[in-house]
Amino acid sequence: MNTKNKGLGRGLSSLLQSGEEIDAAIEASIANRSAEIFCEIPIQQIIANPFQPRTTFEENSLKELSDSIIKQGIIQPITVRKVGKDKFQLISGERRFRASQLAGLEKIPAYIRLADDVQMLEMALVENIQRENLNPIEIAITFQRLIDECSLTQEQLSERVGKNRSTVTNFIRLLKLPAEIQIAVRDGAISMGHARALITVDSNEKQIKLLNLILQKSLSVRQIEELVKASAKPTTANAKSKHNILPEKIEKARSHIASKIISPIVIKRNLKGKGQIAIPFTSDAELERIINILAQ
């Protein structure tokens, strides 16, 4: 199987892979008092953490992650510590590790912790956050590692990195998005603002459809926010009144037109088939844009 990790960020493709390379890097890192190295490790050399508090993993969720890894690769490496010759113990990332096994990967990208000095690792990760060229996904991964491996709360983390807790939370939430969206953010195809709007969408399938729409039509953050709001409105309306329940054919047409004009559309219809179509707008410029599209 081709084990090249398509999901890895730029600059991470030339990973240390042989045992000799890894051992040499470990010796050099210890001499330089570094906290860790980054490499690619054979999965068969990794053993589970006996102190892992989580012992059960939802089968369907694990299969979905496995399928994503086969298609997109590993986006967030696992973390291990070396416990013997060609033997590593998992510190964090067991779900990713199990899904990679399920996907049939032979190797997996990993951070190797060189010591149990949590303070040293924390300092290295916080220093890494200060780099100017990190993309939002790299920042999110580093924040999550600080929480998982240094036992920090989000409040403590926000103090360590000098950012508001809400900012920290917004970054970490990016890691809950499907791999396709994380990669788009990482590569700069969409902004963090786009991603934050997509987080509120209630299914991965809808999120990816909206991602494709952003890429195809170069939608702004405000435009995608309006589309997300529009897609949520029918659900709220349906809960309030049966009169607003639209047949599937009409609802599909509404969604299609809304995506075409990049603006929400509200259809009100009673049980006798009477009603109205409304297209809200917030300025004369937006009204002119909608009219021009409809006139085509």
Report the CATH fold assignment for 1-114: 3.90.1530
For 167, what's the count of Cα atoms within 13 Å in the CB-facing half-sphere?
Answer: 11
Q: Are 220 and 226 in contact (CB under 8 A)?
A: no
Tell me the β-bridge partners of 36.
113
For residue 293, what pLDDT band results from cuts at 50, 70 and 90? confident
Instruction: Specify the residue for token string 């909608």.
Output: 290
Q: Can you give the residue ranges of every domain in the chain? A: 1-114, 239-296
pTM above 0.85, yes or no: no
Shortest CA distance to 36 belongs to which of 18, 55, 16?
16
CA atoms of 224 and 238, how far apart (whole Å): 22
Q: Which of 94, 180, 225, 286 is catalytic?
A: 94
| Orientation of helix 192-199 relative to helix 204-217, angle to 10° | 150
Report residue 114 as tokens: 């060189």
- How high is the pLDDT of residue 32? 58
The confidence score (pLDDT) of residue 127 equals 73
Distance CA 221, CA 193 (A): 6
**What pLDDT does residue 18 have?**
59
Q: Residue for token digits 């220093």?
A: 127
What is the number of other CB atoms lying within 10 angstroms of the CB of residue 189? 14
State the pLDDT at residue 17.
55
Average pLDDT over residues 113-135: 76
Residue 53 CB contacts under 8 Å (≥ 6 apart), including other chains = none
Active site residue 20: no
Per residue in 57-79, pLDDT (tens digit) is: 678 888 989 999 999 899 889 98
